[in-house]
Amino acid sequence: MQFLTFIGFTALVAIISYFKTRNTEESSSDGYFLGGRSLTAGVIAGSLLLTNLSTEQIVGLNGSSYQSGLSVMVWETLAAVAMVVTAMFLLPKYLKGGLTTVPGFLAERFDVTTKTLTSVLFLTGYVVVLLPVILYSGSLAISGMFDVPELLGVTHTESIWICVWGIGIIGSIYAVFGGLKAVAVSDSINAIGLLIGGILIPIFGLLMIGDGNLLDGLSILTTENPEKFKSMGGPTDPVPFYTIFTGMMLVQLFYWGTNQQIIQRALAAKDLKEGQKGLLLASFIKILGPIIVVLPGLIAFHIFQGNLESADSAYPMLVKKVLPTAWVGFFAAVLFGAILSSFNSVLNSSVTLFGIDVYKQHINKDAEEKTVVKYGKTFGVILAIASMFIAPLIANAGSLFDYLQEINGIYSIPILTIIVVGYLTKRVPAIAAKIGLVTGCLLYIVSQFFLQPYFVNNALDAAAEANITDAAELALIEAQAYPHFLDVMAILFVLNVLIMLIIGKIAPRKEAFVQEYTKQVDITPWKHTKQAGIAICVIVIGIYIYFA
């Protein structure tokens, strides 16, 4: 019955997506890569949310809240502020320039080499980290939910391979052969299911705690675990509170404002009004995100009394304990949709970056649009197959999940730096952008993979010599031995900006950069953008003050 429910809901999404997109013109770049620049606010919001939300986030953030409490909600709440900034300042510039990819702006502002370097950085991050991690974490969830090893009589490793290829093939069909609109429409339907299913888990959990009374459950949870309901993280928490004002906002701005897999949804808006409304609607819903990705972890801590072997098992164990059997198939289908969404969104963005910024630019400059789309699809198939082979091997690289955000910093901050400087200045030259990209990547790698281990190991050795064995004290010593990776990001961002500005002062470009309006879409802003943006920021601040 559970499996039939799963198949039924998944098939329903596929059928609706097909009928909604069968008449979309996909032989052109805009048609295939940007859904014909036709996306409306609701579709943009749904696609943004589900592209962002996947199993590694649902399981990982709930595991963090199980361990560290409410302070990890910063990944959700600050995202709302970043989306407001994107809607008000970045999106108008993107749509004015008629961009298909974010690196496309860099070709106009700096030069083609800068654009290509940035596209290659994006693609490297997607191929090496994102696609395999999404496939592997998703396969763990599906394999565990349906107990695939027992169902098919295979080993755990074999079940992961089966699930990886199943998710990979279905995701590839959506992303490679359906284009962005198929991805966005399927995302929107799945987003509804994810919101329903995601909200049901904490509701059932609170009902269990309160013996059938939701409000009693919430009261018991907050009064018996007050230490878990603090919005401001301490020095040993995953996100200390002060990092909100250093690197956290930079990470959020990169992700929601410049990351191709995310911003591509807003670039596909039919006009600026729809794009801004879509981003602001998504940002408002994002404020409610902790209900799905943080609260269940707190509920799990109360129900299991902190006795689980691993924090990451908190969410799966809670689902298994509180969800009625009849709902399991539906919830598995919703999670499957979330996995697919992240996978096919990254894949579609990779296809776009390769087709527009690599093939058309360097391999066949005279290629017709049909040819660009064709070779983009071919690249997507190769990429998908490669990621399906790599994903199961992640089982042997346990640190990859822990350092996912850290690894992304290698390319996220350098790219954000050159985009910010590119828009805010007019005479900083192309050589400054190239130097900014290279120094940003190299300095971050040196900092996090050479200097940090050296200082942390020295501090722990000194603690061992002093016979310090208390776990809390050791954690504090480790946290204070070297700056938090978000602090390192902030330091390198400022350093990169200064380097670029100094080069711009010494050797400015001859003519000031002026962005032209391509008139591909109407860029009249939504009249309530500022009021809605301010309201969202006030709500976020209010949440922090309430839980402080």
Return the pLDDT at 162: 92
Question: Which range (302-306, 354-358, 479-483, 492-496) has the least confidence?
Answer: 354-358
pLDDT tens-place string over residues 75-98: 889 999 999 999 999 999 998 888
Mean pLDDT of 375-398: 78
Overall domain count for the chain:
1
Mean pLDDT of 494-521: 91
Q: Which residues contact 201 (CB under 8 A, 6 or more apart)?
A: 292, 296, 315, 318, 319, 322, 323, 331
Return the pLDDT at 84: 96
Q: Give the C-alpha separation, 537 to 327, whole Å.
A: 36
On whether residue 152 sits in a domain, the answer given is yes
Intra-chain end-to-end CA distance of the chain, in Å: 45
On whether residue 328 sits in a domain, the answer given is yes
pLDDT tens-place string over residues 28-82: 444 444 455 677 888 888 878 877 777 777 877 888 888 888 988 998 899 999 9
Return the pLDDT at 26: 46
Mean pLDDT of 444-463: 91
Mean pLDDT of 364-387: 81
Q: Give the C-alpha separation, 191 to 318, whole Å.
A: 21
Instruction: List Cα–Cα distances, 467 to 36, 456, 461, 514, in angstroms.
Output: 65, 17, 10, 63
The backbone region for 49, taken as left when phi is positive above 0, alpha when psi lies in -120 to 50, beta otherwise, is alpha
Q: Give the C-alpha separation, 53 to 538, whole Å.
A: 24
On whether residue 476 sits in a domain, the answer given is no
Check pLDDT > 60 for residue 388: yes
pLDDT tens-place string over residues 282-322: 999 899 889 988 999 999 999 998 787 777 778 877 887 88
On whether residue 9 sits in a domain, the answer given is yes
On whether residue 216 sits in a domain, the answer given is yes
Q: Specify the higher pLDDT residue, 500 or 346.
A: 500
Which of 138-147, 211-220, 337-346 holds the top average pLDDT?
211-220
On whether residue 494 sits in a domain, the answer given is no
Return the pLDDT at 282: 93
Check pLDDT > 70 for residue 188: no
Answer for the pair 58, 292: CB distance below 8 angstroms, yes or no: yes
pLDDT tens-place string over residues 495-507: 999 999 999 999 9
pLDDT level of residue 524 (50, 70, 90 thresholds) = very high
Q: Specify the higher pLDDT residue, 494 or 375.
A: 494
Q: Give the C-alpha separation, 104 to 286, whole Å.
A: 28
On whether residue 105 sits in a domain, the answer given is yes
Q: Give the C-alpha separation, 256 to 335, whole Å.
A: 22
Answer for the pair 238, 68: CB distance below 8 angstroms, yes or no: yes
The CATH number linked to 129 is: 1.20.1730.10
Please give the residue range of the domain that contains residue 122.
2-396+517-547
Mean pLDDT of 259-274: 84
Mean pLDDT of 541-546: 90
Amino acid in the structure at residue 516: E
Check pLDDT > 50 for residue 120: yes
Q: What is the pTM of this model?
A: 0.82
pLDDT level of residue 14 (50, 70, 90 thresholds) = low
On whether residue 122 sits in a domain, the answer given is yes
pLDDT level of residue 22 (50, 70, 90 thresholds) = low
Q: SS3 for 143-154, per residue?
A: HHHHCHHHHHCC
Q: Which residue has the tokens 């596929």?
A: 14
